[in-house]
Structure 1
Amino acid sequence: MSTLSAPIGGSLSPGENVLVLDPEFGVDESPICMDLVTADRSVEQAMLSVTVTESPGDRVRQWQQHADTTPAAATVLDVDTSMGSAASNPTADEHRIPCESASVRTVSDPSNLTKLGIEITSALDELTAAEEDRRLVVCFRSLSPLLQYVSREELFKFVHLLADEFARTGAIAHFHMDPTAHDEQTVATFLHLFDGVVERDDGAWELRTR
């Protein structure tokens, strides 16, 4: 079981990126994920969710189960790693996203980081164009499966560019990674890209900043 020892998202500032280290199996990361994307309740929020290890529908259900607020706008960008997944029918998921303005997009090739980057940039532009006062929050779940399709060097460069782009737009962004799926050197390599790391300590989530 995982809990929050204290709210973490509220300690992050616009433009900061953190890495959430959570095993893909056996740990419920929902509390920390929802804390990070719903931290600032004083302003409307626009959410970009990049899903690799779950479907758009799973992302929506997680929000509905763990958050007591809804974003003013949301885009779920599904990186489809399996034929016939929920991503093949995004319309059904789209109508269940609980906010005023919502869209679901699919990137069918997880090895095409260029295409994924273009879709992310386009989604950011749309989410930030409507209301300048909205707080942009980003969840990228997860980096680990992408390493089955691209090299560590390619993904490092990609995440570096994304982190810079999220910082430029003033987003509060977090990326998930399964530390049990990689060697220590791989995890340490990606840590350099982030302002902090969130991981569990005695069952509770803790933030360590650089």
Structure 2
Amino acid sequence: MGSEGIPLDDDTARTVLVLDSDICSEPLALTAVPNPRLLAVDFTPRSTGNPDDWEERLAIRPTELVAVTTETRDADALGADEVEQVTSPADLTGLGMKATKHLSRWEADADGDDATTPIVVFDSLTILFQYAGLQSIFKFVHTLTTRIANVDGYGVFFLDPVTQDDKTVHTLSSVFDAIARRSGDEWDIVTR
């Protein structure tokens, strides 16, 4: 896989758990995705709603960008089309409602002539573990990945595997179509 990034254009791997401790990991190679609309759930200190940053990370430029964060931010200042705020990463219900709102809207838009591809990037599940337990996070992720599959979208979820035990990583992995894990300078991608 190497320096070209993590290839995600394969229809057999629509939802991917990226296990990596490096916050500046390789880009996600979504080059063949038509009319990508991005829902970026990002609680990291480097949280961004800037389409240029996402273009660099995804290898495509989103035609619409919705950023979901805990920070109060102005969409115009970020370059995002919309910024949604939740009070805390612990608000899994609120996160799910915001994601469903946009996925449903994009699904309705896809009924027209232009193909739309929803992409959800969740950066990072590691932060959720500071606020919720495995059972709650598993249910949330399972529900969200199911919703992504129902709209023929892509989901990319990051998790720092060093912060969680093997059982937790294994349990969460069962929800995804593929697991991407760095092996030196290469990526090992295992599909289910």
Q: Which residue of structure 1 aligns with residue 153 of structure 2?
A: 171
Q: CA deviation at 1:150?
A: 0.7
Alignment of 1:67-78 (within 5 A): 69-78=60-69
Deviations 1:48-76 (A, max 9, x none): 11112245436545225456642221211
Per-residue displacement from partner, 1:98-140 (whole Å, max 9, x unpaired)?
Answer: xxxx211111122121111111101212233334411122211
On the 8 A contact 1:50/1:77 being kept in 2, the answer is: yes
CA distance in 2, matches of 1:30, 1:137: 17
Secondary structure of residue in 2 paired with 1:111: coil
Partner of 1:17: 15
User: Mind listing any 5+ residue stretches in structure 1 that lack a counterpart?
Assistant: 81-86
1:166-192 Cα shifts (integer Å, max 9, x gaps): 111111111110001111111111011
What's the CA shift for 1:13? 4.5
Q: Which residue of 1 aligns with 2:32?
A: 40
Contact 2:39 2:66 (8 Å CA) reproduced: yes
Residue 3 of structure 1, CA deviation: 4.3
The alignment partner of 2:27 has SS state of helix
Closer, same or farther: CA 127–55 of 1 in aligned 2, 3 Å: farther
Aligned equivalent of 2:75: 91
Counterparts of 2:75 and 2:4 in 1: how far apart (Å)?
37
Deviation at 1:199, TM superposition (A): 1.2
Residue 31 (structure 1) aligns with? 27
SS of the equivalent of 1:10 reads coil
How many residues align? The count is: 189
- The equivalent residue for 1:84 is none
Deviation at 1:30, TM superposition (A): 4.5
SS in structure 1 of the partner of residue 144 of structure 2 = helix
**How far apart are 1:141 and its partner, in Å?**
0.8
Task: Name which of structure 1's ranges 148-157 and 128-137 shifts more when overlaid on structure 2.
Answer: 128-137
Q: 2:174 aligns with which of 188, 192, 205?
A: 192
Q: Is the 8 A contact 2:20 2:159 kept in 1?
A: yes
Given residue 12 of structure 1, which amino acid in structure 2 is its aligned partner? D
Structure-1 residue corresponding to 2:186? 204
Q: Does 1:117 align with 2:96?
A: yes
Q: Give the match's secondary structure for 1:136.
A: strand
Q: For the Cα contact (< 8 Å) 2:17–2:156, is it kept in 1?
A: yes
Structure 2 counterpart of 1:107, one-letter code: V
| One-letter amino acid matched to 1:29 | S
**Partners in 1 of 2:155 and 2:72 — Cα distance?**
26
Q: Classify the secondary structure of the residue corresponding to 1:157.
A: helix
Bigger proportion of residues as helix:
1
Displacement over 6 Å in runs of 4+: none
Change (3 A) 1:110 1:67: closer
Q: Distance in 2 between matches of 1:10 and 1:69?
A: 12
